């Protein structure tokens, strides 16, 4: 069965093409009349930062107004998200974030300065990416089936690294272990996980496409699978996890949100203009080079995806008993 995100890909090309011809009408045509600020709740140089600076420049050209990208990292994205939740609901302060901030954080923290559904107005699904499951080359495991068999025979012996408790690569690995009935040892680390594989500190790692694809191509670590519903065009010989574990899909989409209460015509205007940008060949090429797939969506489609991923990852987090406070 296709996931909500995967179903969008079949319609994305048509939606993006049509968006280029959408006319502005009503009060939409007056937005924006001053610079628009986009808050990214992660540091400069991260994949959300890279994407928004590409898209923001093009939006600025369309609007004739500057798009100011502001990085506010901290607390797993909660600091930046809270700032947007508390902003004026006029479309001039936006949130560009990854799915974990809205779909995982509410289950990890007892108290947040925002509500995943009440604080934001979804604008558009922007890009999608998955994770590459990597193994150290001398592990003797060549695919997911062999990994599962080994883990069942030796419970708790295989180790996997992540960016920390509750991080994306931790949670997607917990989903895999729960679906396969295996137990592995989680090793939180603030160092490079590919280097940790090379040095033998860990056996496995789930790395986002933005750096996992390059590691897979390098050949020094072994790629076992990718976590999206379809194979990556950049490493097409690497199977999906779902080819061995039916139903397994784990993505790390990026989305654009406004503050709740922003006029619907402003939200629709931003969404349509984002679709125009994501349809541009040079933008698509730059994103593809970074192993990011441009999507584009309606606000309603993004709202549905947030709800479904909120429930999906909430169940994984509860089952694994992960808390960060």
- Residues 306-318 have pLDDT tens digits of 999 999 999 999 9
Whether residues 264 and 212 share a domain: the answer is no
Q: Is residue 168 scored above 50 in pLDDT?
A: yes
Mean pLDDT of the chain: 92
Whether residues 121 and 266 share a domain: the answer is yes
Question: Average pLDDT in the 71-82 region?
Answer: 95
Q: Is residue 325 part of a domain?
A: no
Q: Is residue 171 part of a domain?
A: yes
Q: How many domains does the chain have?
A: 2
Residue 126, C-beta contacts closer than 8 angstroms, at least 6 positions apart: 51, 55, 96, 253, 254, 255, 256, 274, 278, 294, 295, 296
Total-model pTM: 0.88
pLDDT of residue 26: 44
- pLDDT digits over 225-235, tens only? 999 999 999 99
Whether residues 43 and 158 share a domain: the answer is no
Whether residues 138 and 225 share a domain: the answer is yes
- Picking from 28-32, 75-79, 221-225, 298-302, which range would have the lowest pLDDT averaged per residue? 28-32
Check which CATH number belongs to the domain holding 170 and give it: 3.40.190.10
- pLDDT digits over 18-70, tens only? 444 444 444 556 899 999 999 999 999 999 999 999 999 999 999 999 999 99
pLDDT of residue 23: 43
Whether residues 228 and 261 share a domain: the answer is no
Whether residues 142 and 160 share a domain: the answer is yes
The model's confidence at residue 1, banded by pLDDT at 50, 70 and 90, is very low
Domain boundary pick from 226, 243, 260 = 243
In the block, residue with structure tokens 């939409």: 28
Q: Is residue 298 scored above 90 in pLDDT?
A: yes
What whole-number percentage of the chain has pLDDT above 70?
Answer: 91
Domain boundary pick from 210, 243, 276 = 243
Integer CA distances (angstroms), 155 to 73, 176, 183, 316, in order: 37, 14, 5, 20
Check which CATH number belongs to the domain holding 86 and give it: 3.40.190.150
Whether residues 105 and 145 share a domain: the answer is no
Question: Average pLDDT in the 188-196 region?
Answer: 94
> How far is 95 from 81, CA to CA, in rounded Å?
7
pLDDT of residue 20: 43
Q: What are phi and psi of 41, to 5 degrees?
A: -80, 30
If one compares 16 and 117, the residue with the highest pLDDT of the two is 117
Whether residues 230 and 316 share a domain: the answer is no
Residue 19, domain extent: 4-129+251-320
Whether residues 86 and 23 share a domain: the answer is yes
> How far is 5 from 28, CA to CA, in rounded Å?
27
Whether residues 9 and 122 share a domain: the answer is yes
Domain boundary pick from 243, 264, 295 = 243
Cβ-count burial 287-322 (b if 16+ within 10 Å, e if not): beebbbbbbbbbbebbbebbbebbebbeebbeebeb
In the block, residue with structure tokens 């429930």: 311
Q: Name the β-bridge partners of 71.
A: 40
Whether residues 238 and 166 share a domain: the answer is yes
Q: Is residue 27 part of a domain?
A: yes
pLDDT of residue 325: 81
- Picking from 92-96, 165-169, 273-277, which range would have the lowest pLDDT averaged per residue? 165-169
Whether residues 217 and 276 share a domain: the answer is no
């Amino acid at each position: 069965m296709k996931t909500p995100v995967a179903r969008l890909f079949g319609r994305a090309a048509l939606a993006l093409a049509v968006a280029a011809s959408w006319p502005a009408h009503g009060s939409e045509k007056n937005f924006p009349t001053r610079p628009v600020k986009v808050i990214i709740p992660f540091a400069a140089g991260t994949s959300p930062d890279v994407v928004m600076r590409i898209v923001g420049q093009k939006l600025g050209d369309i609007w004739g107004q500057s798009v100011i990208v502001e990085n506010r990292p901290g607390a797993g994205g909660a600091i930046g998200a809270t700032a947007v939740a508390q902003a004026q609901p006029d479309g001039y302060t936006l949130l560009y974030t990854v799915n974990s901030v809205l779909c995982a954080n509410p289950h990890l923290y007892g108290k947040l300065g925002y509500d995943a559904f009440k604080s934001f107005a979804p604008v558009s699904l922007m890009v999608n990416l998955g994770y590459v499951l990597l193994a150290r080359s001398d592990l003797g495991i060549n695919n997911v089936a062999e990994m599962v068999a080994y883990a069942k025979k030796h419970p708790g012996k295989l180790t996997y690294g992540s960016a920390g408790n509750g991080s994306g690569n931790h949670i997607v690995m917990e989903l895999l272990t729960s679906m396969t009935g295996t137990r592995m040892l989680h090793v939180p680390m603030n160092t490079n996980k590919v280097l940790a594989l090379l040095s033998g500190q860990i056996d496995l790692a789930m790395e986002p496409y933005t750096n996992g694809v390059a590691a897979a191509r390098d050949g020094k670590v072994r790629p076992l699978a990718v976590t999206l519903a379809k194979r990556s065009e950049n490493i097409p010989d690497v199977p999906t996890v779902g080819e061995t574990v039916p139903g397994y899909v784990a993505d790390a989409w990026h989305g654009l949100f406004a503050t709740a209460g922003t006029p619907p015509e402003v939200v629709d205007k931003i969404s349509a203009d984002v679709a125009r940008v994501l349809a541009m060949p040079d933008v698509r090429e730059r994103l593809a080079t970074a192993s990011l797939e441009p999507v584009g969506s309606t606000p309603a489609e993004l709202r549905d995806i947030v709800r479904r991923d909120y429930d999906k990852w909430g169940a994984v987090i509860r089952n694994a008993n992960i808390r960060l406070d």
